[in-house]
Amino acid sequence: MELIDILQALNQTHGPSGDEGGVREKIEELAKPYGDEVITDTLGNLIVRKKGEGPLVMLAAHMDAIGFIVTHIEKEGFLRAGRLGGISPKEAAYSAVRFKNGVKGVFVPEEKADFGKLKLDECFIDIGARDGEEAKKLVQVGDTCVYDVPIRVQGSRVTGPYLDDRLACAVLLRTLEQIRKPACNLCMVFTVQEEVGLRGARTASWWVEPDIGIAVDVTDVDDTPGSEKNGTTRLGAGAAVKVMDSSVICHPEVVAKLEETAQARNIPVQRDILRGGGTDAGAIQNTRCGVKTGGVSIPCRYIHTPAETADLEDAQACVQLLAAFVQR
């Protein structure tokens, strides 16, 4: 499958933090023909093994996405919700949402709310229920919902929700397809609960016990008007080799090997330094006695909004880099 087809398939599934079963089932279906062993651990991480000789290399991308969880159902039929991960009420305002059971709604600020200082408890979800009794037949407290926004492609640019981190999951699946014989013992791990504290990567890396760990995720850019310089990357400039973010300072040997691999294969790369925000690399690095850790990132605009935007050519460069790295 092409990257965009995999991305479309993954985004049609349900998978907010803590409720990743739907996306895990789809990834397992797509990965099984190419892996030697596929395991789901206790926390819900999906681990795909491909046997080889040499060090144990772990590539990780998180399956989970930001979302909402219902906390109250009001007598008028409106829902109050808590956040799963770093979701902003202003960025989510008036977005369509969908629940796991197919119920759809819209996330709405109260009319009296100050939009400039909008808080989550000043917002509600409208599922079209006439009253609380009807609403309770459709959803329950504890149910989760996600953005219900389609993916749009224009040229090589793709826009939609949950490129963080479904696009990186698609990159790992395409990489798995292309690997003939790894020059290492390879574990691809699709982690859970990254958005709420890197939880899945912490338990998965303890179980896998890698020699080298590489987190694959999106990263912030420095190519839009009024950029606050949180990131260093640009759309269309290639795969981004992570140097550091707020969760990790990458091992210099891993950074050097990734850049050498890119140069040897003529793969476009750029450096990724992220001043705020982290990835699964932070949890992988601190496992057991420590892991040589790096990151391969996909530049992405408007992260954690319903209109995340990336370049499929950058994602393809990440596929080429990861495939070359594990086969060297």
Q: Residues with catalytic annotation?
A: 194
DSSP string, 212-262: EEEEEEEE-BS-STT---S--B-TTS-EEEEEE-SS-B--HHHHHHHHHHH
Collect all residues with Cβ–Cβ distance below 8 Å to 5 and sequence separation of at least 6: none
List the structure tokens of 31.
């990965």
State the number of CA atoms in the 13 A half-sphere of 117 facing the CB.
3
Q: Determine the Cα–Cα distance for residues 240 and 163; give it in Å rounded to an integer.
A: 16
Cis status, amide bond into 165, omega within 30 of 0? yes
3-state secondary structure of 25: helix
Instruction: Give residue 306's identity as a one-letter amino acid code.
Output: P
Query: Could you give the angle at the alpha carbon of 20 between the alpha carbons of 60 and 102, nearest 5°?
Result: 145
- The contacts of residue 126 (CB under 8 Å, 6+ apart) are 78, 79, 105, 106, 108
